[in-house]
Chains A and B, each alone.
Chain A
Amino acid sequence: MRDKTHMESVERWARYVRENPDRWKSKVKPIIDSQIIKSRSFYKKL
């Protein structure tokens, strides 16, 4: 089980998403995209 500060971060971010419906996506995009780009790049090197 993760410690309570992990869930607190989840909750803090969820409240930001709820209160900023036209802002959150631009903050998430680099994180989500970088995971896919990094993963593809790694697979291509194998």
Chain B
Amino acid sequence: MENKKDNRSVEDKTILDKFVEDFCKITDKHVKYIICSGFVAISHGRTRGTEDIDMIIERMSKPEFINFHNDLIKNNFVCIQSDNQSDIFDNYLSKGDSIRYVVNDEGYFPPEMEIKFAKDEIDNDQIKTRKKLPLTGLNIYFSSIEYNISFKEELLKSDKDMEDSRHLRIIYESEIDEELVNKIKERIGKLRLNKDK
């Protein structure tokens, strides 16, 4: 997917942009990741609030996670759930629950990075087909526009999600692979909505 050249300066980056780029720079050294959901729309100009940014990472071993976590701590992030790496891995990530990191300040103030392990073939494919999206001006990996539109229109469906989807459809008008969107929606139906059962 191509876009018009992005000419934005560093000064135009928002607090959310800087937080996400800092976090992803560290994450990228340890594991394949994607940023998905609300921040995809917000980084394309949707003017709405959010306090958490959604990140999905490939499954990793406990020692690998401990290295990743320690690198985040070294770079001034803190995990809200626990300071204990084993606790975070065994009682949250491995059980399919998300964990949340914030900048280490006087309290756990937003924004938060919400991290989950990839849980099925849809998440694995989102990571496999991840993209950098030049219009955002951010040097991070996103799940594809087709995946984001499909999730919002097929699974999430709130007013906010439908507006996010409409926003992305206008930005990427004529570039969206509708056949792919339909295939992804079908997969979401089977794997997340149990439509075949």
Contacts and interface: CB of A to CB of B under 8 A. Distances in A.
B58 interface: no
A24 B12 CA distance: 9
Nearest to A46: B107
A7 B169 CA distance: 13
B19 to A, nearest CB: 9
- Identify whether the interface residues of B are mostly helix, strand, loop, or mixed: loop
A4 interface: no
By size class, the interface of chain A is 20 to 34
A29 B17 CA distance: 10
12 contacts: A6-B159, A6-B163, A10-B46, A21-B7, A22-B5, A28-B14, A29-B12, A29-B13, A36-B111, A39-B110, A40-B109, A40-B110
Interface of B: 3-8, 12-16, 42, 44-47, 49, 51, 106-107, 109-111, 135, 137, 159, 163, 166-167, 170-171, 173
